[in-house]
Structures are given as structure tokens and as C-alpha cells.
Amino acid sequence: ADHVTDVDARQRRAVEVVRRLLEDESSLLHQQGREDILRQTMEDGSSVVCSKCGGVVPSCRWRQHQLYWCEAGGEMEGEEE
């Protein structure tokens, strides 16, 4: 079904964004040797990746991110909270 494909696609995008962030030596977490924080937030589901701006957002703030803070702007069609 389409929803399964969409979920799979979102998961693949999230994994790719996190992989790039973990490899980014210029990130604050990398410079402090704290890449484990990012890895843990994605593994435990406490954060999600915005498919519009690529930002890592706490799950509890997903809706606010969509409405107010997303650099790409606007509400995202077809995205779940």
C-alpha cells in the first residue's frame, strides 16, 4: 500500500540525514564527541527528521516545527505528527 511505501521512504530519508549529520565533523555534537546523542534520539523515536528542511526535531514539537519553525515554510501535506 502507498502508506507503507511512504513510511519506508521517510525512514530511508531519516537514516540518510542522520548518517550525514553523524559524519559532519563541523557539527557541535561531533566536535564535543557526543554523536551518540543524535543516534539515540533517532533510535528511541524521541526525534524525527523533517523531510522539507532536513532538521532533526523532537517528536513532541513536530507540529510546532511544521507550523512555525521549518526553514522550508508552510504546513507539510500528507505528513503525520
In this structure, what are the phi and psi dihedrals at residue 32, rounded to the nearest 5 degrees?
A: -90, 0
Helix (H, G, I), strand (E, B) or coil at 55: coil
pTM attached to this predicted model: 0.55
pLDDT score recorded for residue 12: 78
If phi > 0 it is left, if psi is from -120 to 50 it is alpha, else beta; for residue 73 that is left
pLDDT score recorded for residue 77: 45
**Tens digits of per-residue pLDDT, 28-67?**
888 898 888 878 877 787 888 887 887 888 888 988 998 9
If phi > 0 it is left, if psi is from -120 to 50 it is alpha, else beta; for residue 45 that is left
Beta bridge pairs of residue 47: 58
